[in-house]
Amino acid sequence: MIKTDILIIGAGPTGLFAVFEAGLLKLKCHLIDALPQAGGQCSEIYPKKPIYDIPGFPEVLAGDLVDNLMEQIKSFQPGFTLGERAETIKKLDDGTFIVTTNKGTEHHAPVVAIAGGLGSFEPRKPLLDNLKKFEDNGIAYMIKDPEVYRDKKVVIAGGGDSALDWSIFLADVASQVTLVHRRNEFRGALDSVEKVQELKNQGKLNLITPAEIIALNGDDTLESVLIRKISDAKEEQVLEVDNFIPLFGLSPKLGPIGDWGLEIEKNAIKVDTFDYQTNIPGIYAIGDVNTYPGKLKLILCGFHEATLMCQSAFQKIHPDKKYVMKYTTVGGVNGFDGTKKEAPKAVVKKIE
């Protein structure tokens, strides 16, 4: 049985940063993730996509952000159970929890923090004949390495941030990028919509709307797609392509966590914004997995939620200890990673 102070379900950016905040309070963490690697959506869906809204980083690749988070928590030596899905939870008489994975690994902790993001990753797929035949043979639902598309002819379908962001990014990588969307309006950020329009005007991107892909052709690998305009004329055109990337989003599936007796609203766990605790005392939900009025599914919001969660978890685990908030400069001097460092004089703020 693995024992820890805070058991974190989900090793995405939120779960990883929670380890740091818990470490500052001298709380040990163990993370469970169904994926074989840490990083959540950043590693699994868009490791090479730049992110522009992490404070202090004008631009950072999602994969690099994960590497940095792993570096930041290294000294706190978190435990990892990777490639296993948290399946069941049992509350013991003393208020602590046992969480068991689909492979039978048991974890025991006084506090459980669910940082499960979107849950298990299930891409929404277009309804097309012979789709399966071309999966991994020209069709992909996520872009893990954009270099795969260097000098290739790529068609992307979709109308959200993913489709827009990747169309913009691949315009500099692929030999030809075509974005096909069922509507004339996009759901993504206005900035990205404007950028796509700009690239179209510069002849660096083909934009076909309102339209849809209705057939896939090729022998062993994908050779062309048939695009039909959604209009009275229903014009059709065959486009020669190497790759087709439908980016219709991921269908949100909470998975087994949905059966744990937690209050759920629209596939997300309801929390109290005081400390991101759920309706079950001792179980918190942070990051994309939770919901509350005004919720934004952004990495920086997950970081904030993880920070407040840890403060509350500290009080729960050590009800008799007085909590003193310290800025991290103190950690540098005292060496929370075990090394002596020159650091500015610490500022200590007491919270009564």
Complete DSSP assignment for 64-118: HHHHHHHHHHGGG--EEEES--EEEEEE-TTS-EEEEETT--EEEESEEEE--TT
Q: Interacting stretch for ligand FAD, rule CB under 6 A, among 39-47, 167-175, 226-234, 318-326?
A: 39-47
CA dist 286 and 14 (Å) reads 7
Choice from 5, 6, 14, 271 touching ligand FAD (CB under 6 A):
14
Residue 127 C-beta-side C-alpha neighbours within 13 Å: 0
CA dist 32 and 71 (Å) reads 18
Of 211, 182, 181, the closest CA to residue 196 belongs to 181
CA dist 26 and 28 (Å) reads 7
Six-digit token string for 34: 């169904």
Please tell me whether 121 is known to bind a ligand: yes
Q: Closest distance between ligand FAD and the C-beta of residue 223, in Å?
A: 27
Among residues 83 and 332, whose Cβ is nearest to ligand FAD? 83
324 to 17, 24, 103, 138, 319: CA distances (angstroms): 20, 11, 40, 56, 13
Q: Closest distance between ligand FAD and the C-beta of residue 33, in Å?
A: 4
Could you tell me if 193 and 186 are in contact, meaning their C-beta atoms sit under 8 angstroms apart?
yes
Burial of 343 (0-12, 13-18, 19+ CB in 10 A): middle
Choice from 8, 19, 25, 45 touching ligand FAD (CB under 6 A):
45
**252 forms part of the interface with ligand FAD (CB under 6 A):** no
Among residues 23 and 117, whose Cβ is nearest to ligand FAD? 117
Q: Closest distance between ligand FAD and the C-beta of residue 49, in Å?
A: 6
**85 forms part of the interface with ligand FAD (CB under 6 A):** yes
Please tell me whether 242 is known to bind a ligand: no
Q: Which residues between 270 and 309 bind ligand FAD (CB under 6 A)? A: 287-288, 297-300, 302
Among residues 119 and 146, whose Cβ is nearest to ligand FAD? 119
Please tell me whether 37 is known to bind a ligand: no
Number of residues engaging ligand FAD in binding (CB under 6 A): 38
**59 forms part of the interface with ligand FAD (CB under 6 A):** no
Preceding omega of 210 cis (within 30 degrees of 0): yes
CA angle at 55 for the pair 68 and 195, rounded to the nearest 5°: 100
Q: Interacting stretch for ligand FAD, rule CB under 6 A, among 48-56, 229-237, 321-329, 343-351?
A: 48-56
CA dist 312 and 243 (Å) reads 48
Q: Closest distance between ligand FAD and the C-beta of residue 235, in Å?
A: 31
**159 forms part of the interface with ligand FAD (CB under 6 A):** no
CA dist 331 and 352 (Å) reads 21
**34 forms part of the interface with ligand FAD (CB under 6 A):** yes
Residues that bind ligand FAD (CB under 6 A): 9-15, 32-35, 40-42, 45-46, 49, 51, 53, 85-86, 115-119, 161-162, 255-257, 287-288, 297-300, 302
Q: Which residues are annotated as a binding site for FAD?
A: 14, 33, 41, 46, 86, 121, 288, 329
